[in-house]
Structure formats: C-alpha cells, structure tokens
Structure 1
Amino acid sequence: MRKRKLIWAGLVAVILVAGLAAFLGIRQRAGGNGQGVAAFREARAFAVSGVLRQLPGPYGLLLGDSQIERLYLPVLCGRPVVNAGIAGTRIAGLRAVAGWLELPRPPETIVVTIGTNDLTRRQRSGHPDAAEHFRAEARALFAELVPRARMVVATAVPPFDAARPGVTRFYDAAAAPAYSAILSEECARAGCRFVDAFADLRDPASLGRSPDGVHLGLDVAARDAVASRLEAAACPERAAQGR
C-alpha cells in the first residue's frame, strides 16, 4: 500500500511539473512572438466575453493596457464594471481585442486607456511616422467602439516619472503629451468624451509613489480620484450629485 501511494505521489508530481513547464512554455511563447501574443489576447477576450454574458443588467467596460488592468474599479456610475485590460497592449492590439469581445448588449460606458506601450523606444525610434500611425489606429478604434456603447470615454496617456532611472531609456516620455492630444482629437472626431483621469497623479509626490516610474502609484485615494474624473466624463449628472 505504501509503495502504491509513493508511485501515485510520483505520478502526480510529474504531472504537476509537466503542467508547469507547459504553462511557462506558453508564457515564453506569448512574450516571444506575435502569434503567441495574439493568441493570449484572443483567449483573454474569450474569457471576458464569458463574464459579460453573466451580467444581468447595465454595465461598464474597461479597455486598455496594464495601466487600466491594474485599476480596481468594480463600479462606475452606479453600474458594475468588467475590466478587459491586457498588459503590454498597444493601440493596434487593442483594436483586435475590441473586435474579439462579444458584447451581450451595448455597455453604458467603455473607458479606454492606451498609449504607454506605443511610446516605447522600440516603437518610436527609427519610425518617423509612428505618431501618424498611432493617430490612424486611434481613429479606427474610436470609430469601431462608439457605435457599440452608449458612451465612450478616452483618457490621456498616464504619467511617466521621467526622472526615474531607466524610464527615458525605454520610453519616449516626452512624446506622451502629443499622443494624449492625438487621443483627444480623434475621440472628439468620433463623438466620445476625453478626460485626463490621471491629472491628480502627475505631481512629483504622486509620481514618486509609482512602483517603477511607468505604472500608476495606486492606492484607495488615488483610485477614488481616477474614478471621480471618469464619472465626471461618463455620467456628469451623477457626479454632480456626489458618488
């Protein structure tokens, strides 16, 4: 009996190790080539679509990169929110994700935060038309999203702490205002609302709370400030009455 238990324990260990190896292999492939990344995004969109089908009434939807993925915002304008943010996403990838999502009915609000990964040196250096490419993708994204929701809100690109070692080595932080302006212009063209939801996080003290100089330094107070600005854009009547 003892020998049989040892054999079964060994088999379970082998299965767990094999499963972990397969998982890590998938993670490495997803980070190492475009097909893997696209497959991961499609799988994420499939999972989010499943969550959306479980919501019984009006809802909000968050779209974007890790900046929005890290934001805990379970309710917006008094309605439940589903977070469909995906770390590492650029604006072209976000268009693909939006296309894969199966919306059971139009969201009350779609919030879009994008641009951080489009500002990497890899995307910017040696590509003089990078900003115009970003504009074309933004124009197409908003044109696709606006008919699918009652309200689309786009945010400015979140702040960088350019003084932090290494940030400007990997990101063209100086171009962030120009990319935010593009998002504002293309959002207005499509008929959505633009807001700098992160305006309260751009001062030196707030930038210093960022874990890496790129991602937002979020706590309860910072989250509430972001939510307040989003609600002012998405449901001004409710925001005026107090949350």
Structure 2
Amino acid sequence: MPRYPRLAPAGRSTLALALLAGVGFLTTGFATGRSGFVTSPYRAERLTAITAALSNLEGDYVLAAGDSHILRWHARTFCGLPLVNAGIDGATSEDLGNLLASLDLHRPPRAVIVTIGTNDTFRKRAASPEQAARRFDAGLDRVLGDLARRTSRIVLNAPPSIDKNGSADFWAEAIRPIGTAAEAACLKTRSCRFLAPFGPGTALAADGIHLRDYDTAYARIEGPACATIRGEPAALANASP
C-alpha cells in the first residue's frame, strides 16, 4: 500500500469537529479488501492520516480504533507506548471492519483498543433496537476475528450510554444489549479484555452522545488495560485460551 503524506494540523482539527453521524457515513461505504475502498473525502483523509502515522513508527505501539469515542481521545501515548488513533467519526462496527481490512499493519501493534457500537444504533440504519444489536454483533465478529490474527492483545470497551432526550435519532435502549453482545464476543476471542470506561456518572456533552471529557474516561481503564497490554496472566482471565 502506498504511503501517504500527513494531513496539515488545521485539517486534522477540522475533521475532529465533524459530527459522529456525518453525512459521508450515511451515504458512502468502505469497499472490502485490503487494497482499496470506496471513499468520501473525509474517509480518504482519515485513512491517509492513519497510514502516515503507522508508517512513521519504530518499535511497539498501541492502535486505538473505533468511532468518534476514539477519535476525540487526544492521548499521544498509552501504557508507555505511542498511541496511533484510528478513530473514524460516524463509524459502525461494519465500517470498522472495512477500515481494518484496508490498513497495512506490517508492523503489528502490541495491542488494539476498540470502542464501537454507538452508530449501529442510528435509527436510519436500524428499524428497531433489536436489529441494531444484531447488526452490531455481526460487524463486531468480523472486527475481532481480524484483530485476533493481527495482534496479541485486544481491549474492547463498552460504548457509553445515549441520552434519549438529547438525541432522538438513536436507539438509546440498544446500548445495553450491544454492550452485552460485546462482552460475550470478547469472552470468545483470544486475549481480549472487556472494559467499561464510560460507566454511570460519565458526563455527556450537549448532543447526548459524546462525552465531555474523554481523557478522564479512558484514564479510568488505564490500570487494567495496561495490565492486559503487558500480557499479565490475571488481566487475561476473561479471554479464551
């Protein structure tokens, strides 16, 4: 896969402000396969930025992948290792699977941290909470299967709750079964650790979807996540052998 130039800082800042369910994600999808994908300008720019960050690495690193709950996490390092942010605004579990298939991870990450699921609950994508959960489960199976072949450690986070009074465009009641499905899938995946950084009391932004403070939320899981990344046996008790 060719190496792409970095985005200018102004471009990255603009992208980070895009809405989680941006128009490009409603109308444009990834192509399957590692060599290319059908793209909106936003997705092309994100793939460019992620590919550039990966190409500049030397040594171990952690990959963070998912939707805007990852993208809005501004950490540069995690557990003493460089952190590459592969968050995509508006991504569903299916989108994430297609993104991962498009990434050349010639240098495998020490671990991958995943937060996904919110956009699977978008009402224009799913006719009911049950359908949203089923679509998520199918997409996540592909994500975890891919990652299990490309890294030895996976940290899978439950998605945060949705304020149904603040955002009527999402099936807020689907978040709980999605979290349950994520935990079950992680239990079946080798070296996967399921965590819940966005527990009760986590402050949501005015849109009812995003968090006010992602850095604080992810700091809550640093202890168990780092134990998993270091490969401590007790930290992997919930992973299948």
Q: Using structure 2 for the length normalisation, give the TM-score.
A: 0.74
Which residue is equivalent to 1:38? 39
State the 1:128 CA deviation.
5.2
After the TM superposition, which residues 42-191 of structure 1 pair with which residues of structure 2 at under 5 Å, given as runs?
42-125=44-127, 129-162=131-164, 165-167=165-167, 169-191=168-190
Which residue is equivalent to 2:194? 195
CA contact (8 A) 2:108 2:150 kept: yes
CA contact (8 A) 1:153 1:194 kept: yes
Tell me which amino acid in the other structure corresponds to 1:146: A
Aligned equivalents of 2:139 and 2:23: distance in 1? 26
Tell me which amino acid in the other structure corresponds to 2:175: A
In the superposition, relative to structure 1, how do residues 42 and 95 fare at CA in structure 2: closer, same or farther (>3 Å)? farther
Tell me which amino acid in the other structure corresponds to 2:24: A
Greater shift in the superposed pair: 58-67 or 213-222? 213-222
Aligned equivalents of 1:213 and 1:138: distance in 2? 24
Aligned equivalents of 1:161 and 1:233: distance in 2? 31
RMSD: 3.0
Tell me which amino acid in the other structure corresponds to 1:189: K
Aligned equivalents of 2:171 and 2:230: distance in 1? 33
Aligned equivalents of 1:111 and 1:66: distance in 2? 13
State the 1:35 CA deviation.
5.4
Tell me which amino acid in the other structure corresponds to 1:34: T
Tell me which amino acid in the other structure corresponds to 1:190: T
CA contact (8 A) 1:74 1:81 kept: yes
Aligned equivalents of 2:60 and 2:23: distance in 1? 37
In the superposition, relative to structure 1, how do residues 29 and 129 fare at CA in structure 2: closer, same or farther (>3 Å)? closer
Aligned equivalents of 2:26 and 2:217: distance in 1? 34
CA contact (8 A) 2:70 2:115 kept: yes
CA contact (8 A) 2:93 2:117 kept: yes
Q: Give a deviation string over 1:38-74, Cα, whole Å, max 9, x none.
A: 3442442233122111111100001000011001222
In the superposition, relative to structure 1, how do residues 129 and 59 fare at CA in structure 2: closer, same or farther (>3 Å)? same
Q: Give a deviation string over 1:143-193, Cα, whole Å, max 9, x none.
A: 11111012111110122234xx332x1121112111011111112222142
Q: Give a deviation string over 1:10-32, Cα, whole Å, max 9, x none.
A: xxxxxxxxxxxxxxxxx998366
Tell me which amino acid in the other structure corresponds to 1:110: V
Aligned length: 207
In the superposition, relative to structure 1, how do residues 159 and 228 fare at CA in structure 2: closer, same or farther (>3 Å)? farther
State the 1:235 CA deviation.
3.3
Q: Give a deviation string over 1:92-128, Cα, whole Å, max 9, x none.
A: 1111110111113110010110000001222232585
Secondary structure of 2:113's counterpart equals strand
Aligned equivalents of 1:210 and 1:234: distance in 2? 30
Secondary structure of 1:111's counterpart equals strand
Secondary structure of 2:39's counterpart equals helix
In the superposition, relative to structure 1, how do residues 62 and 47 fare at CA in structure 2: closer, same or farther (>3 Å)? same
State the 1:226 CA deviation.
4.2
Choose between structure 1 and 2: higher helix proportion. 1
Unaligned runs of 5+ in 1: 1-26
Select the structure of larger CA radius of gyration: 1
Greater shift in the superposed pair: 176-185 or 212-221? 212-221
Aligned equivalents of 1:117 and 1:32: distance in 2? 10
